[in-house]
Structure 1
Amino acid sequence: MGALSRDDIRTMMADVLSAQGKQMPAEDSADLEQIGFRSLDFSELALRVEDEIGEELNFDAPELRAIRTVSDVLDFLEQLQAA
Protein backbone atom coordinates (compact mmCIF):
# COMPACT_ATOMS: atom_id res chain seq x y z
CA MET A 1 0.00 0.00 0.00
CA GLY A 2 1.22 3.46 -0.83
CA ALA A 3 1.30 6.71 1.02
CA LEU A 4 -1.87 8.70 1.45
CA SER A 5 -2.23 12.11 -0.13
CA ARG A 6 -2.90 15.24 1.88
CA ASP A 7 -6.50 15.15 0.59
CA ASP A 8 -6.90 11.53 1.71
CA ILE A 9 -5.72 12.44 5.22
CA ARG A 10 -7.99 15.50 5.24
CA THR A 11 -10.97 13.28 4.33
CA MET A 12 -10.10 10.87 7.15
CA MET A 13 -9.82 13.80 9.56
CA ALA A 14 -13.25 15.00 8.45
CA ASP A 15 -14.64 11.50 9.12
CA VAL A 16 -13.20 11.51 12.66
CA LEU A 17 -14.76 14.90 13.35
CA SER A 18 -18.07 13.98 11.71
CA ALA A 19 -18.42 10.90 13.93
CA GLN A 20 -18.59 13.32 16.87
CA GLY A 21 -21.02 15.71 15.22
CA LYS A 22 -18.29 18.22 14.38
CA GLN A 23 -17.45 19.73 11.03
CA MET A 24 -14.17 19.89 9.19
CA PRO A 25 -13.33 23.57 8.63
CA ALA A 26 -12.86 24.87 5.11
CA GLU A 27 -9.53 26.45 6.00
CA ASP A 28 -6.49 24.37 6.97
CA SER A 29 -5.35 27.28 9.14
CA ALA A 30 -8.20 26.52 11.59
CA ASP A 31 -7.11 26.04 15.19
CA LEU A 32 -7.63 22.48 16.46
CA GLU A 33 -8.87 23.63 19.84
CA GLN A 34 -11.54 25.80 18.24
CA ILE A 35 -12.88 22.95 16.10
CA GLY A 36 -12.77 20.48 19.01
CA PHE A 37 -10.09 18.17 17.59
CA ARG A 38 -8.49 16.60 20.66
CA SER A 39 -5.51 14.31 21.22
CA LEU A 40 -7.82 11.29 21.24
CA ASP A 41 -9.08 12.37 17.81
CA PHE A 42 -5.50 12.63 16.59
CA SER A 43 -4.83 9.10 17.85
CA GLU A 44 -7.86 7.78 15.99
CA LEU A 45 -6.76 9.58 12.82
CA ALA A 46 -3.21 8.21 13.13
CA LEU A 47 -4.59 4.67 13.55
CA ARG A 48 -6.75 5.08 10.45
CA VAL A 49 -3.73 6.26 8.47
CA GLU A 50 -1.70 3.30 9.72
CA ASP A 51 -4.46 0.87 8.76
CA GLU A 52 -4.73 2.40 5.30
CA ILE A 53 -0.99 2.38 4.53
CA GLY A 54 -0.37 -0.96 6.24
CA GLU A 55 2.48 0.19 8.45
CA GLU A 56 3.05 1.77 11.82
CA LEU A 57 3.88 5.46 12.09
CA ASN A 58 6.72 6.29 14.44
CA PHE A 59 6.55 9.61 16.24
CA ASP A 60 7.47 11.07 19.61
CA ALA A 61 5.11 12.93 21.92
CA PRO A 62 7.25 16.12 21.90
CA GLU A 63 6.63 16.45 18.15
CA LEU A 64 2.89 16.48 18.81
CA ARG A 65 3.07 19.52 21.07
CA ALA A 66 3.85 21.75 18.08
CA ILE A 67 0.62 20.76 16.31
CA ARG A 68 -1.92 23.58 16.54
CA THR A 69 -3.81 23.72 13.24
CA VAL A 70 -5.43 21.42 10.69
CA SER A 71 -2.49 22.13 8.40
CA ASP A 72 -0.05 21.05 11.14
CA VAL A 73 -1.84 17.69 11.41
CA LEU A 74 -1.81 17.15 7.65
CA ASP A 75 1.87 18.17 7.34
CA PHE A 76 2.86 15.95 10.26
CA LEU A 77 1.13 12.84 8.93
CA GLU A 78 2.47 13.44 5.43
CA GLN A 79 6.03 13.72 6.76
CA LEU A 80 5.68 10.58 8.88
CA GLN A 81 4.67 8.56 5.84
CA ALA A 82 7.74 9.77 3.96
CA ALA A 83 10.10 8.88 6.82
Structure 2
Amino acid sequence: MSREDIRTQMGAVLSAQGKELPADDATRLDTIGFRSLDFSELALRVEDETGAELNFDAPGLRRIETVSDVLDFLEQLQQDG
Protein backbone atom coordinates (compact mmCIF):
# COMPACT_ATOMS: atom_id res chain seq x y z
CA MET A 1 0.00 0.00 0.00
CA SER A 2 1.20 3.47 -0.73
CA ARG A 3 1.64 6.06 2.00
CA GLU A 4 -1.44 7.87 0.69
CA ASP A 5 -3.49 4.64 0.79
CA ILE A 6 -2.44 4.07 4.41
CA ARG A 7 -3.37 7.67 5.21
CA THR A 8 -6.80 7.14 3.63
CA GLN A 9 -7.34 4.04 5.78
CA MET A 10 -6.22 5.95 8.86
CA GLY A 11 -8.79 8.60 8.06
CA ALA A 12 -11.47 5.90 7.75
CA VAL A 13 -10.58 4.48 11.19
CA LEU A 14 -10.92 7.94 12.74
CA SER A 15 -14.05 8.80 10.76
CA ALA A 16 -15.84 5.73 12.13
CA GLN A 17 -15.44 7.33 15.57
CA GLY A 18 -16.60 10.75 14.46
CA LYS A 19 -13.03 12.07 14.38
CA GLU A 20 -11.14 13.67 11.54
CA LEU A 21 -7.62 13.08 10.24
CA PRO A 22 -5.86 16.47 10.05
CA ALA A 23 -4.05 17.57 6.92
CA ASP A 24 -0.81 18.11 8.85
CA ASP A 25 1.08 14.82 9.29
CA ALA A 26 3.07 16.39 12.14
CA THR A 27 -0.09 16.35 14.30
CA ARG A 28 0.34 14.42 17.53
CA LEU A 29 -1.84 11.33 17.87
CA ASP A 30 -2.98 12.23 21.37
CA THR A 31 -4.48 15.48 20.08
CA ILE A 32 -6.72 13.64 17.60
CA GLY A 33 -7.56 10.73 19.90
CA PHE A 34 -5.79 8.04 17.86
CA ARG A 35 -5.14 5.23 20.34
CA SER A 36 -3.36 1.88 20.26
CA LEU A 37 -6.65 0.13 19.46
CA ASP A 38 -7.02 2.42 16.44
CA PHE A 39 -3.49 1.56 15.36
CA SER A 40 -4.36 -2.15 15.58
CA GLU A 41 -7.43 -1.63 13.41
CA LEU A 42 -5.37 0.32 10.89
CA ALA A 43 -2.70 -2.40 10.82
CA LEU A 44 -5.40 -5.04 10.17
CA ARG A 45 -6.76 -2.96 7.31
CA VAL A 46 -3.27 -2.74 5.79
CA GLU A 47 -2.83 -6.51 6.19
CA ASP A 48 -6.20 -7.15 4.54
CA GLU A 49 -5.31 -4.90 1.61
CA THR A 50 -1.84 -6.29 1.07
CA GLY A 51 -2.51 -9.91 1.99
CA ALA A 52 0.68 -9.87 4.07
CA GLU A 53 1.11 -10.08 7.81
CA LEU A 54 2.80 -7.11 9.47
CA ASN A 55 5.17 -8.05 12.26
CA PHE A 56 5.91 -5.31 14.74
CA ASP A 57 7.10 -5.06 18.31
CA ALA A 58 5.99 -3.01 21.29
CA PRO A 59 9.19 -0.92 21.51
CA GLY A 60 8.64 0.22 17.92
CA LEU A 61 5.08 1.23 18.70
CA ARG A 62 6.12 3.31 21.70
CA ARG A 63 8.10 5.64 19.43
CA ILE A 64 5.00 6.54 17.41
CA GLU A 65 3.74 9.99 18.35
CA THR A 66 2.51 11.68 15.17
CA VAL A 67 0.45 10.90 12.08
CA SER A 68 3.69 10.83 10.09
CA ASP A 69 5.19 8.31 12.52
CA VAL A 70 2.26 5.94 11.88
CA LEU A 71 2.63 6.29 8.10
CA ASP A 72 6.42 5.82 8.25
CA PHE A 73 6.09 2.79 10.53
CA LEU A 74 3.52 0.98 8.41
CA GLU A 75 5.32 1.86 5.20
CA GLN A 76 8.58 0.46 6.61
CA LEU A 77 6.88 -2.72 7.85
CA GLN A 78 5.62 -3.43 4.35
CA GLN A 79 9.14 -3.02 2.93
CA ASP A 80 10.63 -5.26 5.61
CA GLY A 81 7.96 -7.94 5.18
Secondary structure at 1:25 match in 2: coil
What is the match of residue 68 of structure 1?
Answer: 65
Q: Does 1:41 align with 2:77?
A: no
- Stretches of structure 2 lacking an aligned partner (at least 5 in a row): none
Measured on the aligned residues, the alpha-carbon RMSD in Å equals 0.3
Query: How many equivalent residue pairs?
Result: 80
Q: How far is 1:66 from its partner? A: 0.2
Secondary structure at 2:49 match in 1: helix
Describe the superposition over 1:27-76 as per-residue Cα deviations: whole angstroms up to 9, x where unpaired.
00000000000000000000000000001001111100000000000000
Using structure 1 for the length normalisation, give the TM-score: 0.96
Map 1:1-83 onto structure 2 (within 5 A): 4-83=1-80
Runs of 4+ more than 4 Å apart: none
- Following the alignment from structure 1 to structure 2, what is the Cα–Cα distance between the partners of residues 81 and 55? 8
Secondary structure at 1:27 match in 2: coil
User: What percentage of aligned pairs have identical amino acids?
Assistant: 75
- Stretches of structure 1 lacking an aligned partner (at least 5 in a row): none
